[in-house]
Structure 1
Amino acid sequence: MGFREWVLPLVRCSLREKERLRSRLRSSSDNLMKALALLSGGLDSILAVKLIADQGIEVVAVKFMLPFVSEKKEYADEVARKLGIPLIKVEVGEEYLEVVRNPRYGYGSGMNPCIDCRIYMLREAKRLAKEVGASFIVTGDVLGERPMSQHRRALELEEREAGLENLILRPLSAKLLPETIPERAGWVDRTKLLDIKGRSRKRQIALAETFGLHEAYPTPSGGCLLTSKEFASRVKDLFEHNAHVTTRDLSLLKLGRHFRLGDSKIIVGRNEEENKLLAALKGPDDYLFEVPGSGSPVTILEGPKRREAIELAAKLTARYSDANARSKKIMVEYKTEHGREVILVSPLEEHEVARLRV
């Protein structure tokens, strides 16, 4: 089955890049075995792609752009370009947020629904595989590397729930797992696959050296933010106070210091870059606070604008401004739907900061 037009809107790239991708996928020989690989951009998925591509199988990569993963947006493009494979980038929708809000198989150490997240991506991969004419799925899973989602029972569960039993090939650990259809059918030579397990990275690093891939991938920054205790608290707070969560809400979770007063939410920028982003993300009903004429954070007040919430936002703005070192009373300016207003406040005390922080 050939590549279909409706997949292209899922790809985040220029029109020229879309046309290039369309051309590459259409020009593939219908007789050439094809696999769809989940490309995180990490070393494991890169090696998995390399092991399969070296067997003469055409690999098309898919990268799911998850809102809770901290990495530069161009990262996957750079990796795919160096591997010489086409890349489909898929922005997840609101159905993914529901997976995070109500995971069937629970959370990991934070708010990370690892198994449900994997099932979601594999189901989407199954759909895309049909569209690009791929016969099986490739992942960089390593048996026992991740305690929640990469033990044997979890891998079997993910396959079953995604409707991909025996069609997910994990080249790095394949010799430790039951034979898949690609192996039994002779599409893939099992003897050229590996038996890596556990959390050590030594074999992967050595393999990257052997393949000449030690400089073929950049070092990713961050990881899944949902495993962070502080970020998980922010997500939980957001879900508890918002029935409908938007992509803007998710962007704000990554910025500033967060405080909660009832249904009112206050976000205080930590540096100039965050200040600019907060100002850009300010909603039409939000109030924006600053200390004029002084080094000041940008503060956003969301939700009900009761006097107590306005005063708290002003006190927090004053506390984190340069004026805090010079004055006990600080003039804070804030913008409302009616224009600019000012309020004179004392910076918030430390014990109050800790009590209200999310």
Structure 2
Amino acid sequence: MTSSERAAIVRPDTRVAVVGGYTEPEADPGRVGVELWTHDARDRAWRRVAETVASQPSWLVDLGDGRLLAVGEGDPSTLGLVRVASDGGAPSLELDDVLALSGVAACHAAVAGRFAVVAHYGSGSVSSVRLDPAGRPTEEVDHLAFSGSGPDAERQEAPHAHQVVVDGEEVLVADLGSDRVHRLGLDGDGRLRTRHDPIELPAGFGPRHVVRTGELLVVAGELSNELWLGRVAGPDVEPLDVAPLDPPGADGAAYPSALRVDADGLLWTGVRGPDTVAVHRIAGDRLVAVASAPTGGRWPRDVVVDGEEVWVTNQLSQDVTVLDRAAVLAGAGAAVRTRLASAAPTAVVLVGRGARPSTSSAG
């Protein structure tokens, strides 16, 4: 049995975190791509135990059983399979089966059955990729380019597909460049098609991430620094509310990043600039602010709620902070439990015992 065919598993009593991070500029030391961290229950410490070289992994998709897809933000975009493996000793990381795609600067992906759908920010397009039973990307089946623009001449000169959410038979694509959420379908052979008219967001909103909760849809606007709430019923969309996120930081920047919904229905949004995580709840047809707390780092990109922990990847401070969820909700201020040093982290996936990930904006 070859290493690529070996079962990718870890001990069920081991907590594992897989962190992806940007690898450019290459001159910066320590930028390898994907890191493996394990938790020692004896001293309650997290330690980096393995790493693997991957080019510009901007997002990680959990396939289960220690398998992940790494989305490469390059030219061309790439998609590769990462395995968390163990042969009775310490867990290790393997990256293989990297597939080059037609788009440029991929930043997100989600899985729909036997296919992965990849969002390409640079080319304003999406690809469907066939996965084999082990999760290996084997073939780019389809590639669909969007059109349109927005009022922000610098950021919205063209379409910029930022995220994919698989919602039943529908594939939602947040398009920052055109202020739309596209509503696609994926045929049984992996072909992409338009399912319904796109959801039109306010001009200059810049949709980045989307979550679906029941009949409600929440969208984070990177350019307007807001959350949008709407009701979706078949082809019909009813806008309900728009709520501001945290005010800009000292440099005047405020750019929402990851958006998650936890097991209690609370919405968690990372906000770059003020470097906070903002919490909202849905009350009927309104968005209500609940809490906000500093992430303990700079430029939060990903947010994952795991039970009573909130994991945040802070790109510019080059660390991952683990916040106390209860302290955040109580407005206690300093809520950092743990800090992991990681080079330009972009995404985190928790696997193993105790991992209870929030509903992902990855679908």
For Structure 1 versus Structure 2, the TM-score category normalised by the shorter chain is under 0.3
Q: Considering fraction of residues, name the structure with more helix.
A: 1
TM-score using structure 2 length: 0.24
Which of these two proteins has the greater Rg computed from alpha carbons? 1
TM-score using structure 1 length: 0.25
